[in-house]
Structure 1
């Protein structure tokens, strides 16, 4: 599948892993692909900017959207109490994320430094290929990755865009992609 990716699209996939690591995440999600698109300077970045998307605002929305206490609270679970009991049994900091240094050691121990992609991120990659085919393109570029991210559904990337004030649906983005490609041709 990756042989059809443009250099910029491949860079997005690699950068998404770096974004996930920088945020202290153990997997690459669709939200990491979205954040990585901003750094490419490709068609997708132009479409995102044209829609009013701003990297710091979207990054903040991704980080803000990760509050597990909020989701657990809606289920009647008190995260503070869970933490207190876990630390009572297993010691202070039992639920803290490992440091970058600890994660690096684990990665070397298990022979991997790469992060696996979540099911939604894999779905974005598959949908991107479909988007490229539907537009009659023989390659997969950043624009197709963006359209894959914007596929119908309530993904972490779409929620982050909405929380940052960006309203961008796939059809609007598709029209902007076609226009941007026409302009750059």
Structure 2
């Protein structure tokens, strides 16, 4: 789950880097070093939505913020928990003291395998929005006339629960 969330963070940052490199190559390195490398997760959401608007991306991203915040909350609790106790084969208790200075302890709570799988799926759904944005609005999905196949990055639905997990389709000519 923590790895899936890290991928989302890296993909949004990478989308920002790609955008600036394509639109203003002379500023890209500076902007990335001074701004994007140092952003918080709330700023990362702002970057995602700014890119989405700037590129005119046709995906419905109205639920990305809520989904991102939900998976981030679980990721933070897992990543910073001092207590991990196996309750049964499908449930673990997490929480307790954070491994951070001046952090508030969290309640110990049960996290099921189903909740973890749902959160991983939600992370992959957010990542799919970024992939679609990159490939379909920045032109990364272009093919030449002599190509033997076409890779299509599929448009994600408005909600993570409605996504079947399929990321791409290959068409052989």
Same fold per superposition (TM over 0.5): no
- In terms of fraction of residues, the more strand-rich structure is 2
Higher relative contact order (CA 8 A, sep 6+): 1
TM-score by length of 2: 0.32
- In terms of fraction of residues, the more helix-rich structure is 1
